[in-house]
């Protein structure tokens, strides 16, 4: 009996599958090393027993304890800082959304003189050094009575988050094909229906991405909070900074870094589940 020769398309399919599997495995390995190892180091450093220092040539600490966690919770106002961080961040993100959505619509869908210049100008808060923005904004806020003030803090965080939300939403609005809008108008859709049934669903992926960026930017904002907010308000980064600056204490910094990182990573995973790309795919005729 003659040996069965594999058809060419099967060989190509097998090679493609093998290539995809190799790529996925390689990606997972890179992520494990790039992100997993530093996370593991942070966890281990946060559990070092001070009576048994972790030093070379030990690969892992010989004894673990919760001393470092107790220390941070005892000698810093971390609980209050967590509460402040997680009340400022959602408020700032919501305010950013309210301000950015209509602005991004105009920048993305309308043509007017100076549009490109404005698109660059909105990036200024992230181009300028953070402390410079903080120092000058604090003077303005102090003049109008908004420093050491919760609403002032939210406004400051909104300013820093706006560039991300605006840029992402503007690009999302630009990507919406005009023929869909024309078709809706032909079928009698008014402005409200167009906005709620077409624009919002189609910019939803961008909105989620912008929300995540804005939330994380607010959560990690140090300069503005430190200059305008302390001593009345402390956030996780203002406490973390004391341990990460020139007076870097690895054990304490590991604890505060984990307090900052773990909720962020959890939120990112949750947000991913809601990130749907089928709206935009449908718009581009892929479905």
Partner 1 sequence: MKKCLLICFVLFLAGGLLFAGGGAEKKEPDYLVMSWDDIVKAAKAEGSVNFYSWWGEEFWKTAAADFSKKYGIEAKVIMGDLTANVNKILAEKDKKAGSVDCMLIGGEGVKSTIDSGVFYGPINKLLPNYAKLDQKLATVQEGVQTKGYLAPVYRNQTGLLYDPDKVKNPPQTWEELVAWINANPKQFAFCDPTTGGSGQSFVQLVIDKTTGGLDKYKGDTALDTAKVANWNLAWDWFNKMKDKMVITASNNDSLSRLNQGEVSLIIAWDDDTQVNLKSGSLFKRAKLYIPQMGLAGGGDSAGVLKNAAHKAAGLLFVSYLTEADVQVQMNELIGSYLARTDVQGKMALLPEEERQKNGVAWVPAPYKDHFKKEFVKNVLMK
Using CB under 8 A, count the residues that bind partner 1.
43
- The minimum distance between CB 85 and partner 1, in angstroms, equals 16
Would you call 147 helix, strand, or coil by DSSP?
Answer: coil
- The minimum distance between CB 88 and partner 1, in angstroms, equals 17
Nearer Cβ to partner 1 (93/251): 251
**Structure-token pair, residue 205:** 């992926």
Determine which residue in the list 103, 148, 149, 171 makes contact with partner 1, applying CB under 8 A: 148
Would you call 266 helix, strand, or coil by DSSP?
Answer: helix
- The minimum distance between CB 38 and partner 1, in angstroms, equals 15
Determine which residue in the list 85, 138, 172, 217 makes contact with partner 1, applying CB under 8 A: 138
What residues form DSSP beta bridges with 48? Answer: 64
| Interface pattern 100-129 for partner 1 (x via CB under 8 A) | ------------------------------
Nearer Cβ to partner 1 (50/177): 50
Phi (first) and psi of residue 198, to 5 degrees: -115, -60
**Structure-token pair, residue 213:** 């960026």
Determine which residue in the list 56, 112, 192, 274 makes contact with partner 1, applying CB under 8 A: 56
Length of the chain: 287
Tokens 């992402």 belong to: 168
Q: Distance (Å, rounded) from C-alpha 13 to C-alpha 121?
A: 49
Q: Which stretch binds partner 1 (CB under 8 A): 23-31, 63-71, 179-187, 271-279?
A: 63-71
Query: DSSP for 16-41?
Result: HHHHHHHHHHHHHHHHIIIIIHHHHH
**Structure-token pair, residue 78:** 């971390």
The verdict on 52 binding partner 1 (CB under 8 A) reads yes
The verdict on 242 binding partner 1 (CB under 8 A) reads yes
- The minimum distance between CB 156 and partner 1, in angstroms, equals 13
Contact 60, 44 (CB under 8 A): yes
Q: Which stretch binds partner 1 (CB under 8 A): 189-197, 209-217, 222-230, 257-265?
A: 222-230
> Which of 64, 63, 170 has its CA nearest to residue 110?
170
Nearer Cβ to partner 1 (7/145): 145
Contact 199, 45 (CB under 8 A): no
- The minimum distance between CB 246 and partner 1, in angstroms, equals 5
| Interface pattern 3-22 for partner 1 (x via CB under 8 A) | --------------------
Q: Distance (Å, rounded) from C-alpha 97 to C-alpha 152?
A: 17
Determine which residue in the list 1, 51, 186, 270 makes contact with partner 1, applying CB under 8 A: 51
The verdict on 150 binding partner 1 (CB under 8 A) reads no
Q: Distance (Å, rounded) from C-alpha 143 to C-alpha 96?
A: 23
> Which of 190, 177, 160 has its CA nearest to residue 93?
160
Q: Where on the chain is the footprint of partner 1 (CB under 8 A)?
A: 48-57, 67-68, 71, 75-76, 131, 134-135, 138-139, 142, 147-148, 222-223, 226-227, 230-232, 234, 238-239, 241-242, 245-252
């Amino acid at each position: 009996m003659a040996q069965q020769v594999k058809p060419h398309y099967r060989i190509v399919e097998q090679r493609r599958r093998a290539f995809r599997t190799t790529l996925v495995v390689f990606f997972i390995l890179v992520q494990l090393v790039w992100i997993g190892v530093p996370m593991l180091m942070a966890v281990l450093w946060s559990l070092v027993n001070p009576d048994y220092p972790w030093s070379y040539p030990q690969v892992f600490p010989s004894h673990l304890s919760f001393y470092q966690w107790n220390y941070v919770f005892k000698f810093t106002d971390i609980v209050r800082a967590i509460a402040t961080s997680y009340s400022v961040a959602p408020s700032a993100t919501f305010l950013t959304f309210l301000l950015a959505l209509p602005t991004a619509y105009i920048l993305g869908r309308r043509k007017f003189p100076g549009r490109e210049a404005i698109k660059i100008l909105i990036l200024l808060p992230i181009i300028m050094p953070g402390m410079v923005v903080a120092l000058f904004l604090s003077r303005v806020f102090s003049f109008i009575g908004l420093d050491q003030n919760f609403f002032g803090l939210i406004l400051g965080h909104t300013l820093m988050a706006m560039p991300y939300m605006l840029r992402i939403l503007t690009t999302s609005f630009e990507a919406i094909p005009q023929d869909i809008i024309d078709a809706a108008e032909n079928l009698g859709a008014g402005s409200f229906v167009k906005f709620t049934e077409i624009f919002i669903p189609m910019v939803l992926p961008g909105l989620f991405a912008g929300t995540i960026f804005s939330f994380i930017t607010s959560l990690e904002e140090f300069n503005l909070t430190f200059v305008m907010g302390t001593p009345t308000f402390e956030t996780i980064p203002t406490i973390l900074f004391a341990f990460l600056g020139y007076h870097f204490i690895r054990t304490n910094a590991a604890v505060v870094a984990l307090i900052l990182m773990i909720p962020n990573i959890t939120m990112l995973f949750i947000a991913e589940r809601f990130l749907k790309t089928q709206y935009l795919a449908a718009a581009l005729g892929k479905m």
